[in-house]
């Protein structure tokens, strides 16, 4: 008998060789039905796996990201099987799960078109209905090479040959279809429910333009049709909210052919941007930050000293000044370090928090540029905190509190991920371990759940990333906290300790918006261009109905302007219905309709962007109401 401990701490005895699925069925038939994979003794496994030792078991359903990956990767195999049935000469490349879906790359004599989607879906449904068991088999290298050689699967052969000599090579079979795969997978194809083929793209094999161009078929899958319908509806909504279209229509920003990747902010976009920056400055002043500004162009020697030259030069822009080599900064950190060095610091001054709205430039490939979301020039709301080692935990928690204040204001839920030492990194394992443990301790003391991304840290230190979730359930990585023991060493930063000697400070790099430009793009789509009143470029538009009411309209505009409200008037000789519709299309929070009666009574007829006609109100009453709404930054 073997002993299995469950996540709730309970323990059960089973005969050796029982499958994880049978264990799940013994615990609860409903649990077994919803389970898609399992974690046994820390390793994610197929539910069909047999248990041969004591261990701890966690069953994963679709709510868990790891289970979603298993579900979508199994879906990719079903799609590949469908394609092989329909176009047998197609060769298989790879088919991973991705965020909200999956894809498979094919080398096929058939050119896929959107007209094929329904055909592929129907064949996938037949495979799902057949409920083939998905069976794992381990092969020797020779067996694997022979198996895929007989099937002329050249891409699979290349993958096998690149595996380490001691690698475990496994295949998964469902019906007649067999694929090279590490797994894990669902127990059978019948576990899949709602599927949808979405789009097509070209993709070079292994991402190199020297290799053949393959056809990539994108799709998605969910365990319920209602979940698929909700996802598709949100995709349609996302198209309507595309920040590039709204940016032009609302007069916020544009990206022009004359500056690919270099956005232009228009007058109304600058109002929005300035409000975000003003709020940033106000909150950072309260939190004890001092603002600095550092140059955009600095010498090559500085970037060599910081390590960016070795680790980042392919993404940098360069210039020559007075026969010397200079670089346009891709990051603000080295400038912040030079500012710290301008004075002798005492331990009594620390922590020293310095913030900067720093414009940086990074070379991105033209194919990945996307509106404000992926640009070549952007402003980071950087801050660098210099502290004593014993202040690390409190400072990290202080940044977490500030991040929470910002994201809560905009109505963004968020989750946290911890990234550890990458393969290409500066510094010893001991320093990295100390830095990583400090971040973990801060997260645990604040009671924050987090996911670990092994090997995904910055080259100079581990980091905590904040992923916010917008109104369309998409996630965006914005805020980050990076703990750095390396840069203070490289730049010989010191402070005078209590003992009168020189000591090395510890450094935190952090951003909250991440990139102002990208954050504006996210906000534009999150709110669909209907920004909260405090952010709206135009907060009130005054609409006089007649020539006689225009003088009163000017008086209303003046009073509102004096109260600090962003207001404009529409004096065109158009019908009032047309003016109202245009104001609504411009997503202006408040429209004030003024006729002869309003002029006589000193009132305004108020239309709210969401609530519609609110009736007549005294001008003073309306003014006080929205001044408070702006001050309180109401969502």
Asked if 49 and 188 touch (Cβ cutoff 8 Å), the reply is: no
Across residues 160-186, what is the average pLDDT? 94
Closest by CA to 356, choosing from 387, 335, 322, 381, is: 381
Q: Which two tokens stand for residue 145?
A: 């090479």
509 labelled catalytic? yes
Q: How confident is the model at residue 7 (pLDDT cuts 50, 70, 90)?
A: confident
Q: How confident is the model at residue 353 (pLDDT cuts 50, 70, 90)?
A: very high
Catalytic residue among 81, 174, 215, 380: 380
Asked if 601 and 617 touch (Cβ cutoff 8 Å), the reply is: no
382 labelled catalytic? yes
pLDDT at 310: 84
Q: How confident is the model at residue 592 (pLDDT cuts 50, 70, 90)?
A: very high
pLDDT for 209 beyond 90: no
Asked if 358 and 329 touch (Cβ cutoff 8 Å), the reply is: yes
pLDDT at 358: 96
On the 0-12 / 13-18 / 19+ scale of CB atoms within 10 A, 457 is: buried
pLDDT for 18 beyond 90: yes
Q: What percent of the chain has pLDDT over 90?
A: 88
CATH 3.40.630.30 fits 540-631, yes or no: no
pLDDT at 89: 96
pLDDT tens profile 258-301? 999 999 999 999 999 999 999 999 999 999 999 999 999 999 99
What kind and span of H or E run contains 124?
helix 117-130
Question: Comparing 86-95, 306-315, 585-594, 608-617, which segment has the lowest mean pLDDT?
Answer: 306-315
467 labelled catalytic? no
pLDDT tens profile 28-65? 999 999 999 999 999 999 999 999 999 999 999 999 99
Q: Which residues of 291-305 are buried (b: 16+ CB within 10 A; e: fewer)?
A: ebebeeebebebbeb
pLDDT at 563: 97
pLDDT tens profile 476-531? 999 999 998 888 999 999 999 999 999 999 999 999 999 999 999 999 999 999 99
pLDDT at 564: 96
Which H, E and C letters describe 278-310, residue by residue?
A: HHHHHHHHHCCEEECCCCCEEEHHHHHHHCHHH
Q: Degrees (nearest 5) of the Cα angle 156, 157, 159? A: 65
Superfamily of domain 2-61: Beta-grasp domain (3.10.20.30)
C-alpha to C-alpha distances, 162 to 53, 167, 460, nearest whole angstrom: 32, 10, 30
Q: Which two tokens stand for residue 164?
A: 């380490």
What kind and span of H or E run contains 606?
strand 603-608
Closest by CA to 463, choosing from 446, 478, 445, is: 478
Starting at the edge strand that comes first in sequence, how are the strands of the sheet with 317-321 ordered?
297-299, 324-328, 317-321
Catalytic residue among 46, 179, 381, 382: 382
Strand partners, 160: none
pLDDT for 552 beyond 90: yes
Could you name the CATH architecture of 68-237? Answer: 2-Layer Sandwich (3.30)
Closest by CA to 633, choosing from 541, 542, 534, is: 534
pLDDT for 95 beyond 90: yes
Domain range summary for the chain, segments of one domain joined by +: 2-61, 68-237, 260-294+346-526, 540-631
Catalytic residue among 181, 333, 376, 482: 333
CATH 3.30.930.10 fits 260-294+346-526, yes or no: yes
384 labelled catalytic? yes
On the 0-12 / 13-18 / 19+ scale of CB atoms within 10 A, 40 is: buried
Starting at the edge strand that comes first in sequence, how are the strands of the sheet with 55-60 ordered?
11-14, 2-6, 55-60, 37-40, 43-45
Q: β-pairing, 567-569 with 540-544?
A: parallel
Catalytic residue among 329, 374, 384, 566: 384
Catalytic residue among 68, 243, 463, 579: 463
C-alpha to C-alpha distances, 574 to 210, 460, 549, nearest whole angstrom: 60, 61, 14
Helices 117-130, 65-86: axis angle to 10 degrees equals 110
pLDDT at 316: 94
Closest by CA to 119, choosing from 217, 191, 25, 260, is: 217
pLDDT at 427: 79
Catalytic residue among 77, 191, 284, 362: 362
């Amino acid at each position: 008998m073997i002993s299995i401990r469950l996540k709730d701490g309970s323990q059960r005895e089973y005969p050796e060789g029982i499958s994880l699925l049978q264990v799940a069925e013994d615990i609860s038939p409903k649990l077994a039905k919803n389970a898609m994979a399992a974690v046994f003794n820390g390793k994610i496994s197929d539910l069909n796996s047999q248990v041969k030792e004591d261990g701890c078991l966690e069953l994963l359903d679709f709510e868990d990201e790891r289970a979603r990956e298993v579900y979508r990767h199994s879906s990719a195999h079903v799609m590949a099987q469908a394609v092989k049935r329909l176009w047998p000469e197609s060769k298989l490349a790879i088919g991973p799960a991705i965020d909200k879906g999956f894809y498979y790359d094919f080398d096929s004599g058939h050119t896929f078109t959107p007209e094929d989607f329904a055909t592929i879906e129907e064949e996938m449904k037949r495979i799902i209905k057949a409920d083939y068991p998905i069976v794992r088999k381990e092969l020797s290298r020779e067996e694997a090479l022979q198996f895929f050689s007989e099937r002329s699967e050249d891409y699979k052969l290349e993958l096998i040959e690149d595996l380490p000599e001691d690698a475990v090579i496994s295949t998964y079979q469902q019906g007649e279809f067999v694929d090279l795969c590490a797994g894990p997978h669902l127990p059978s194809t019948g576990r899949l429910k709602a599927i949808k083929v979405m789009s097509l793209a070209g993709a070079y094999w292994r991402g190199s333009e020297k290799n053949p161009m393959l056809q990539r078929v994108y799709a998605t899958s969910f365990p319920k049709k209602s979940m698929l319908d909700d996802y598709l509806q949100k995709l349609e909504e996302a198209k309507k909210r595309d920040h590039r279209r709204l940016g032009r229509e609302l007069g916020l920003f544009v990206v022009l052919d004359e500056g690919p990747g270099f956005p232009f902010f228009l007058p109304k976009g600058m109002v929005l941007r300035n409000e975000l920056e003003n709020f940033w400055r106000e909150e950072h002043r309260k939190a004890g930050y001092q603002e600095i500004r550092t140059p955009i162009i600095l010498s090559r020697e500085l970037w060599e000293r910081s390590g960016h030259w070795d680790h980042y030069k392919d993404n940098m822009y360069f210039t020559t000044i007075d026969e010397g080599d200079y670089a346009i900064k891709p990051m603000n950190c080295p400038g912040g370090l030079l500012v710290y060095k301008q004075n002798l610091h005492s331990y009594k001054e620390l922590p020293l928090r310095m913030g900067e709205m720093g414009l940086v430039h990074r070379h991105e490939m033209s194919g990945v540029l996307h509106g404000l979301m992926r640009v070549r020039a952007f402003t980071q709301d950087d801050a660098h905190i210099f502290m004593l080692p014993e202040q690390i935990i409190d400072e990290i928690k202080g940044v977490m509190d500030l991040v929470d204040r910002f994201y809560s204001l905009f109505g963004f839920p968020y989750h946290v991920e911890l990234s550890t030492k990458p393969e290409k990194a500066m510094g010893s394992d001991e320093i990295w371990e100390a830095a990583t443990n400090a971040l973990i301790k801060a997260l645990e003391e604040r009671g924050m759940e987090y996911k670990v991304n092994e090997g995904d840290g910055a080259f100079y230190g581990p980091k905590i990333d904040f992923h916010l979730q917008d109104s369309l359930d998409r996630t965006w990585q914005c805020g980050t906290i990076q703990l750095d023991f390396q840069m203070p060493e490289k730049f010989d930063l010191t402070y005078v300790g209590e003992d009168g000697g020189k000591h090395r400070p510890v450094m935190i790099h952090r951003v909250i918006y991440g990139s102002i430009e990208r954050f504006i793009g996210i906000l534009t789509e999150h709110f669909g261009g209907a920004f909260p009143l405090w952010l709206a470029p135009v907060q009130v538009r005054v609409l006089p109905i007649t020539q006689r009411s225009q003088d009163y309209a000017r008086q209303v505009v003046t009073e509102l302007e004096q109260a600090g409200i962003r207001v404009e008037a529409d004096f065109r000789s158009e019908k009032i219905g047309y003016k109202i519709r245009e104001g609504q299309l411009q997503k202006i929070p408040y429209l004030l309709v003024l006729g002869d009666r309003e002029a006589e009574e000193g009132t305004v007829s108020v239309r709210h962007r969401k609530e519609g006609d609110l009736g007549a109100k005294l001008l003073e009453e309306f003014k006080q109401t929205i001044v408070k709404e702006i001050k309180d930054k109401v969502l």
